[in-house]
Amino acid sequence: MEIQNNDDFKYVLQDTNTIYFGRELTYAEMMDREDVPFKFKAVLSAHIARDTDLDKKMAEHLMTISDSAFSYHIYEQLKLTVRICYKVQKKGFGGKIKEKWLHKSCPLHQFCREYRALAAQEDVMIEDFSISKLALMVLSI
């Protein structure tokens, strides 16, 4: 019997200027966690809950969000970045072709424009999301 840890991508981390959210967290789980800032919980309940169900994962929501949605504009104000990774083939020494993983952080508008279709095809994997603490601080609810 194989035991899997289902909580590998359910995390909230903070450094001095950024809050990171794992890709498997649902909005409801964010509301229940104590390490999520209260102001972000207020943004979730006041604005994001109008556009989507709180039982939805943040990754699922961003895969279907339109650029005219109010929650899209909220995430733009919060300077949301999506960290992704994908494989590329690179020619190494001696002409040998190797596969290499590239990791990239991109703002929401770039993710929606360039990488969302690739993520839907599973050519690109979403790792996590981050928002700016400064942007969260100056956002009025």
What does the CA dihedral 70, 74, 79, 81 come to, rounded to 10 degrees?
-60
The pTM assigned to this predicted structure is 0.86
Q: Rounded to whole angstroms, how far apart are CA atoms 36 and 136?
A: 12
For 52-93, how does the pLDDT look when each residue is reduced to its tens digit (9 = 90+)? 999 999 999 999 999 999 999 999 999 999 999 999 888 877
Would 58 be classed as within a structural domain? Answer: yes
Would 96 be classed as within a structural domain? Answer: no
Residue 134 corresponds to which tokens in the numbers above?
């400064």
**What is the number of domains present in the chain?**
1
Would 99 be classed as within a structural domain? Answer: no
H or E, element range at 84 = strand 81-91
Which domain covers residue 45, as residue numbers? 12-83+105-117+126-138
- The stretch 101-118 carries a mean pLDDT of 93
**What pLDDT score was predicted for residue 4?**
61
Would 88 be classed as within a structural domain? Answer: no
